[in-house]
Amino acid sequence: MAGEQSRPLDQRERADAAQLTSMPTSSVFHFFARLLERRGYFVQDNKLEDFAFPRDMIAAESRYGFPDFVLKTNHDGSLEGGEFIELKDAKSYQIASFNSTLPSATKPVSSLSQNMMKQLVEAGDDIESVPQRDVYYLVRGIRRTTSSPLAKTVLVSGSFFETVSTKEVLSSAFHQVATASTPLDVDVSELTEHFDIRQSSFAETRRVEGSSISVRFRVMAQADPRANLMSDSRYPMIGDNTLTMLVHERRLINPLLINPLLINPLLTGNSYAWDQAPVAIKNCEAYTHLGEAFDEIDANLKSVVRVSVMRHPMNGPFFMAQAPIHP
């Protein structure tokens, strides 16, 4: 009613309000900033899953399914948050296989397991606010030497691996299997073009009448050599004992601003101190968002990071931020 005085908050309501106020912004950029604070761990020969991840940014997690983490969404601010994080750890400079789930740039939140959805609700996450989530992979490779292990650790957008849609990849692969399994005079295109091949279809258990077993196909994928971030020859900018972030640069903050092209060889072949980055890099969305994360968590992190642009052989430019790992 008009003129009615608002009642004072009780103790529980004050505590809830204080918690919301103190909650850190959660996004993949803030996640990377927190990794930077503890980057010395990554050169140690320990399990990646045992790293002290920032739990206050994580809404749900799973050690047995995809993804390993779901970050919290933000009620306010310019960043939605809610990204999926999947861990990939290998005892060599290779990328561990993608088991059961093909790598994706984005995933619908509805694809999560019931257990993870329950965790999101319990964490107070606004599920419907971000129905489609960006996917990132935290990839680490360790190379043992006679003295101490070397490590490369990269937090990379899923679009680095999904250069062709998963649906198209599965359809093409199925077509190849059908072609190899039929006589030469049979055109399988007329058959396979009507198939709607989905990854979820493979996960379903198939039962055959009269059989004492059921069948469930499992999809596995390996990174193409051209997308092996651990390769010294293909990606020399990702050096030993570094922590790197790669974000697919799909658009600029101000598309009307005249900047050098991000594919300029001078940009893709050099790295720059944070404040000395060329205009083209400073106008990347990722540069702005990462800078905001540094300012919130520790502005001094800017002094240890160098930025650049990495050219993907099949999927355009990626914003790159990198810091050395100090054991």
51 or 8, greater pLDDT: 51
**pLDDT confidence of residue 63:** 83
Helix (H, G, I), strand (E, B) or coil at 110: helix
**pLDDT confidence of residue 9:** 46
Residues 6+ apart with CB under 8 A from 280: 259, 260, 261, 262, 264, 267, 309
CA 231/CA 92 separation, integer angstroms: 10
80, 130 in Cβ contact below 8 A? yes
By CB atoms closer than 10 A (0-12, 13-18, 19+), residue 41 is: middle
Residues 6+ apart with CB under 8 A from 269: none
- Residues 99-127 have pLDDT tens digits of 868 899 999 999 999 999 999 999 988 88
- State the Cα angle at 47 between 45 and 48, rounded to 5°: 105
Q: Does pLDDT of 23 surpass 90?
A: no
Read off the pTM: 0.84
Residues 6+ apart with CB under 8 A from 152: 93, 140, 141, 229, 230, 238, 239, 240, 241, 242, 244
Q: Report residue 35 as tokens.
A: 């990794």
Q: Does pLDDT of 196 surpass 70?
A: no
Amino acid at 290: L
**pLDDT confidence of residue 33:** 97
- Residues 135-145 have pLDDT tens digits of 999 999 998 88
Question: Percent of the chain scored above 90 by pLDDT?
Answer: 49
Residues 6+ apart with CB under 8 A from 313: 226, 227
When pLDDT is cut at 50, 70 and 90, the band that residue 7 belongs to is very low
**pLDDT confidence of residue 251:** 52
- Residues 251-300 have pLDDT tens digits of 544 444 434 456 566 566 789 999 999 988 898 899 999 999 999 999 99
Q: What DSSP state is assigned to residue 73?
A: B
Q: What DSSP state is assigned to residue 234?
A: T
When pLDDT is cut at 50, 70 and 90, the band that residue 77 belongs to is confident
Residue found under tokens 């900033």: 33
**pLDDT confidence of residue 65:** 86
Give the residues across from 310 on adjacent strands.
318
Residues 6+ apart with CB under 8 A from 250: none
Residue 324 CA: distances (Å) to CA of 43, 64, 160, 303 = 10, 31, 22, 11
**pLDDT confidence of residue 13:** 43
Residue found under tokens 């694809």: 111
**pLDDT confidence of residue 252:** 42
**pLDDT confidence of residue 262:** 60
Question: Percent of the chain scored above 70 by pLDDT?
Answer: 80
Q: What DSSP state is assigned to residue 204?
A: S
Residues 6+ apart with CB under 8 A from 8: none
Q: Does pLDDT of 6 surpass 50?
A: no
149 or 71, greater pLDDT: 71
Task: Please state the φ and ψ torsions of residue 139, each to the nearest 5 degrees.
Answer: -105, 130
325, 239 in Cβ contact below 8 A? no
**pLDDT confidence of residue 144:** 85
What average pLDDT does this structure show over 223-249? 93
